[in-house]
Structure 1
């Protein structure tokens, strides 16, 4: 499948997805789950319970972005230490508007970004087909670019976009020193800097600084309201006031100024209250879980495995195993159905033939998992790979 046809969340066959979600929904212990398992009723009940603490429900509903939406914008701008912010229905729209605005202001249609960035992998080449921009790549290695690579790019560029963390490379981050050097290198080349910070919320622990200090390095920052905050959807683009006003004009042209958005805005505010204070604990426990997974794979005699990064930079990381992804997914579903224990989300074929990869997200449900519990659950899952109904058999591939 061509890159421009990829989407961030591949769609399962209806029966397979329904069974997976039912198994996850019924699990009593969840290591790495997903809020998509919640029913509509679950989401409505949670929103009704949390909304009164997040916003005054005696206020009227929003109309084209006022009221509760403006409160969300003010809240995010304050958290990031930015002058202003604009709510967008999707991160893709927020990113495209940001790049378009900076291209107009710098006079350059060239954007420097990683080939594994969301812009390249998950947005169907929108920067080119919608906004007429062009991309250059400082590096193709599966890691953030270095300051030297930014300085040595062989053509001018107007905007440097950095995805923090770089999700498709394994949720990896530079060090704080490396990040400041990369930004300085872009400034030396008279470029502006945009942070694709969909998951910026959980980066502060790794960098050892607070969110405003991170955001202050960039000219604009996009953050998601659902990827770490477990909201319904939505994104916020923050930056200087004049930039945000221009972004709002383009938001209208792109069809992003919706008549009412109060459910998404309320869920975003509730997510800031509920999840943001917990993220440092998630990041810390992800390191415990990652080490326990490595111990479990060794104990089970797995011939090859990789937990990447070896020490997670955020509360999310990759796990690679040498088994068919269909077999691993089926074994995990059966484990949940039979024991009430859910370990991993869906497994996919890895870019390297013969391997499967999954993303582990350590959140509230994982905090009670001890290393021993992780090892026992992984062992029980791998035992189910040898069962005849294991989705194709569990023998290592290749």
Structure 2
């Protein structure tokens, strides 16, 4: 079996184990059969659209309704729907480059455009990136203020996913924004997961988004929508972004399934996110205690007190060993504790991401510890 075939086999096993699990911390929409998801979307659609409402054409109708709701939630003048966040952020920062006269974007080296977009900022949009810090956190005000070369925009990913879904303190965030303003730079928030940041900051979405000139949000990462994103900001920039969306090939003929699923996410999932964040902290503490009780030589839950409803777990084993233990536990006990593991750092060290959503609310700390004990039992000692 080739490496590619082995990976496909593992992926198929993981998907089947997730679908068949009786207990899981998070049931991903990716593991719901296609016809079931379509039926659920059709059944719920009347909650957010009129029974006789026409489908959208090139961004009107339900897409326009979604844009207005996002602008309202974020306290911005306007918002525009995009098929992808990759496109939304390229357009936003390209527009700002034209207005500031500086195509350099300051961001973290672990930010999504640097790791997961094939150098699109540079290859497609003619933008250049610089890094005020490479520490596993957002930049500090001093690092932004003292950076040795000019930049037109500061991009802040909230939370910084690949560093562990981490967020700064509110006062730190205010200070770093002020430091950017002192340099005459605009501030753009990569808010793919901004929706779940309110418990950590203790501030409403409008106040968080109000720090930035523009904000991008995703509809499928936390809100469980089908796809899509929005860019919110000043009306003049949003209208310019609409033109660039068309030039980038994002002016789709119809997008009503994605728009309806996004509106349903805003209605049903958004109000639940604070409960997910609170319970993620219970789960994280129970995982830490469970690993200690199981006698593992080393483990890490990061952050120790999660900033959102997602966090990382690190263990000193090869990723394939941890994948097999996770899959074996899910297949044999119907408890899906951990998903995919990734080699990260020195050889023999791996990490996974833990997400706590509706299904995870039923887990007590003791439930988590019991699942950890069963998982660790499957590891070589």
- Please report the TM-score for the alignment, with normalisation by the length of structure 1: 0.93
Following superposition, the deviation at residue 33 of structure 1 comes to: 4.0
Mapped pair 1:261 → 2:255: yes
List 4+ stretches of structure 1 deviating above 6 A.
none
Corresponding residue number in structure 2 for 1:168: 162
Corresponding residue number in structure 1 for 2:358: 364
**Given the alignment, which residue of 225, 234, 245 partners 1:240?**
234
Following superposition, the deviation at residue 103 of structure 1 comes to: 0.1
Corresponding residue number in structure 2 for 1:219: 213
Mapped pair 1:204 → 2:198: yes
Mapped pair 1:84 → 2:82: no
How far apart are the structure 2 equivalents of 1:191 and 1:368? Answer: 46
Q: Which runs of 5+ in 2 are unaligned?
A: none
**Given the alignment, which residue of 177, 186, 189 partners 1:183?**
177
How far apart are the structure 2 equivalents of 1:299 and 1:371? Answer: 13
Matched residues, number: 378
How far apart are the structure 1 equivalents of 2:323 and 2:43? Answer: 33
Following superposition, the deviation at residue 354 of structure 1 comes to: 1.2
Matched ranges for 1:24-35 at <5 A: 24-35=18-29
Following superposition, the deviation at residue 210 of structure 1 comes to: 0.2
Corresponding residue number in structure 2 for 1:304: 298
Deviations 1:193-238 (A, max 9, x none): 0000000000011001100000110000000001100111100000
Check conservation: 2:318, 2:347, Cα contact below 8 A.
Answer: no
How far apart are the structure 2 equivalents of 1:45 and 1:17? Answer: 25
How far apart are the structure 2 equivalents of 1:57 and 1:292? Answer: 46
Q: Which runs of 5+ in 1 are unaligned?
A: 1-9, 386-393
Check conservation: 2:26, 2:358, Cα contact below 8 A.
Answer: no
Corresponding residue number in structure 2 for 1:347: 341
Check conservation: 1:32, 1:345, Cα contact below 8 A.
Answer: no
How far apart are the structure 1 equivalents of 2:51 and 2:150? Answer: 50
How far apart are the structure 2 equivalents of 1:352 and 1:61? Answer: 52
SS in 2 for 1:13: helix
Corresponding residue number in structure 1 for 2:131: 137
Following superposition, the deviation at residue 83 of structure 1 comes to: 0.6
SS in 2 for 1:317: strand
Corresponding residue number in structure 2 for 1:390: none
How far apart are the structure 2 equivalents of 1:293 and 1:276? Answer: 26
Matched ranges for 1:110-129 at <5 A: 110-129=104-123
